[in-house]
């Protein structure tokens, strides 16, 4: 099938001397191809136009996209701002730390980050909190015999992130639905009519915010309770410039969003890869049997090298965050070009994650590239989590929950004499933006 590009738009145009990718539709630009076929779109643009080109993100406007690996270093550049994220998705990410720079960003990040480091996670006993929830879920899959994998991992991840935050886990499918609608705000055409994504996305956000406001009120009323919301509320209230409840609610909404969709997608891809590559499953089962139980502390993760390699390679081949927007505040040198101050930029993590310049045989799923390495993990090896001041806060948490999940899955299924099997086609229905995920319809059997 050819890409979802507009055959009527064949003009060769330049902006700031940089080519615009042909094939944009009115209103939605290249979004249909970005959402459904991003890797091919980037490769085709690089082949035909070179390393720098403009993509049209519809309502979010044009972003100058650079596939030269130098673009990754922009994430650490002092003259590059994240405020464009708020311009693109004001209703979803406005007032959140991911869209802030400098002091405001540091203040909000400092209130949260310690809880997500290995020490904070261990002190809070997060591994012990998660292990039984994960085990119960994979046991239910074993009993059912087959599952729609992304729906299941989405549900499980919500449950985990809610328990981490100290939020009672009621109506998880309802929250899951609201979050999917909320994400649509990033790509929604600017038409506010009943039933359309913009109206649905706004309603979902208002619903979520009303619930979160109540949790914040509860946290203040019962200060002795545990959970990250309580820690955040006290950290925010303690700060020199107390931040408003709007900022607090927006950041909790960000954490729930960031900690749910990306991890659900990665976990679903892990199961899909285990189902379609029997050798991977055998290696994982061998490790799980040797380890004998689901690890609960960060220190135990060193015993689970196959599970860790599986997590890293799954994310490399299927990065959940594919593109990062930024704005150049000053004129910049990027690869062979000067980029004018003010240029909106798109940094294609997906392209670097699977680039032959950074990885040998990048299209092959190889655990060996992690198992046989002797040097420590560098920023470029975990580029799926970004780098610089905004590098993902959840990295250590994801590592813990992915390894716990792999070991629990292998122990449970192996004991029952079954293994994961793919029951659907994988290529159809996968999405790459706003976050990437496999098709919602993929089914996995355990037999
Ligand atoms: C596989 C899972 C995940 C992936 C691939 C991922 C990816 C990313 C990336 C690429 C960024 C950088 C954004 C930027 O520079 O603009 C980021 C930031 C962030 N992530 Fe994650 N993430 C994951 C899971 C999590 C989890 C579990 C949490 C927390 C519960 C989390 C919380 C955050 C937060 C709060 C930020 C913003 C940090 C800042 O702006 O300072 N993420 N993530």
Please report which helix (H) or strand (E) contains residue 203, including its range.
helix 197-221
Q: Give the residue whose CA is nearest to atom 7 of ligand 1.
A: 385
- What's the pLDDT band for 40 if we cut at 50, 70, 90? very high
36 known ligand binder: no
- What's the pLDDT band for 327 if we cut at 50, 70, 90? very high
Q: Which residues have CB under 6 Å of ligand 1?
A: 75, 82, 97-98, 109, 161, 254-255, 258-259, 262-263, 266, 315, 320-321, 324, 384-386, 390, 392-394, 397-398
Given the CA of residue 113, which atom of ligand 1 is nearest to it?
35
Q: Is residue 46 part of a domain?
A: no
Q: Give the residue whose CA is nearest to atom 19 of ligand 1.
A: 392
Q: Is residue 38 part of a domain?
A: no
Torsions phi, psi of 341, nearest 5? -55, 140
Side-chain-side CA neighbours of residue 186 (13 Å): 19
Q: Looking at the predicted structure, is the pLDDT value of residue 82 above 90?
A: yes
Q: How far apart are CA 330 and CA 314, in angstroms?
A: 36
What is the whole-number distance in angstroms between the Cα of residue 419 and the centre of ligand 1? Answer: 31
* Domain coverage including residue 275: 68-445
* CATH number of 169's domain: 1.10.630.10
What is the whole-number distance in angstroms between the Cα of residue 9 and the centre of ligand 1? Answer: 36
Neighbours of 423 (CB within 10 A): 15
Q: How far apart are CA 57 and CA 46, in angstroms?
A: 17
* pLDDT over 70, % of the chain: 98
Domain total of the chain:
1
Q: Which two tokens stand for residue 345?
A: 């930029």
Q: Is residue 118 part of a domain?
A: yes
Q: Is residue 436 part of a domain?
A: yes
Q: Give the residue whose CA is nearest to atom 6 of ligand 1.
A: 385
Q: How far apart are CA 352 and CA 49, in angstroms?
A: 18
- Which mutation among 86, 160, 322, 394 tests ligand 1's pocket best, with the greatest number of atoms within 8 A of CB? 394
Q: Is residue 290 part of a domain?
A: yes
What is the whole-number distance in angstroms between the Cα of residue 111 and the centre of ligand 1? Answer: 15
Q: For position 239, what pLDDT does the model report? A: 66
254-300 residue pLDDT tens: 998 888 889 999 999 999 999 999 999 999 999 999 999 999 998 89
Q: Which pTM value belongs to this model?
A: 0.94
Q: Looking at the predicted structure, is the pLDDT value of residue 431 above 90?
A: yes
- For residue 363, the SS3 value is coil
The ipTM (two decimal places) reads 0.99
Q: Which two tokens stand for residue 344?
A: 């909106």
Could you tell me where the beta strands, DSSP code E, fall in 240-343?
Answer: 324-328, 332-334, 337-339
- For residue 394, the SS3 value is coil
Q: Which two tokens stand for residue 133?
A: 């929830």
Query: What is the rounded end-to-end Cα distance, in angstroms, of the chain?
Result: 33
138-164 residue pLDDT tens: 999 999 999 999 999 998 998 999 888
């Amino acid at each position: 099938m050819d890409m979802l590009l507009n055959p009527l738009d064949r003009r060769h145009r330049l902006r700031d001397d940089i080519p615009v990718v042909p094939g944009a539709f009115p209103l939605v630009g290249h979004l249909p191809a970005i959402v459904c076929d991003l890797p091919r779109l980037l490769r085709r643009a690089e082949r035909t136009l070179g390393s720098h080109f403009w993509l049209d993100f519809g309502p979010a406007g044009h972003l100058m996209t650079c596939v030269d690996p130098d673009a990754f270093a922009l994430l650490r550049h002092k003259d590059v701002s994240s405020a464009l994220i708020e311009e693109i998705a004001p209703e979803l990410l406005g007032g959140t730390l991911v869209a802030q720079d400098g002091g405001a960003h540091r203040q909000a990040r400092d209130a949260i980050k310690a809880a997500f480091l290995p020490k904070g996670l261990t002190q809070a006993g997060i591994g012990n909190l998660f292990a039984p929830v994960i085990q119960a879920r994979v046991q239910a899959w074993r009993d059912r015999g087959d599952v729609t994998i992304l729906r299941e991992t989405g549900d499980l991840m919500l449950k985990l992130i809610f328990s981490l935050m100290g939020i009672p886990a009621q109506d998880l499918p309802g929250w899951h639905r609201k979050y999917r609608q909320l994400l649509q705000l990033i790509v929604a055409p600017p038409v506010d009519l009943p039933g359309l994504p913009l109206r649905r996305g706004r309603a979902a956000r208002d619903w979520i915010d009303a619930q979160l406001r109540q949790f914040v009120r509860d946290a203040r009323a019962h200060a002795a309770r545990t959970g990250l919301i309580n820690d955040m509320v006290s950290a925010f209230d303690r700060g020199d410039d107390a931040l408003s409840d709007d900022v607090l609610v927006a950041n909790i909404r960000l954490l729930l969003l960031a900690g749910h969709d990306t991890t659900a997608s990665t976990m679903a891809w892990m199961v899909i890869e285990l189902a379609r590559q029997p050798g991977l499953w055998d290696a994982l089962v061998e490790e799980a049997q040797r380890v004998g139980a689901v690890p609960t502390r960060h220190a135990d993760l060193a015993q689970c090298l196959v599970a860790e390699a599986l997590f890293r390679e799954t994310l490399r081949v299927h990065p959940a965050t594919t593109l990062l927007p930024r704005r150049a505040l000053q004129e910049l040198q990027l690869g062979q070009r000067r980029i004018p101050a003010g240029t909106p930029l798109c940094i294609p993590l997906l392209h670097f994650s699977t680039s032959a310049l950074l990885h040998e045989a990048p299209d092959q799923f190889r655990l060996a590239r992690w198992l046989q390495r002797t040097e420590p993990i560098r920023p470029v090896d975990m580029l799926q989590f970004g780098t610089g001041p905004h590098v993902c806060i959840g990295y250590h948490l994801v590592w813990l929950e992915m390894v716990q999940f792999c070991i629990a899955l292998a122990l449970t299924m192996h004991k029952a004499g079954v293994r994961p099997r793919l029951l659907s086609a994988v290529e159809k229905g996968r999405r790459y933006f706003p976050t990437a995920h496999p098709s919602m319809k993929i089914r996995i059997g355990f037999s």
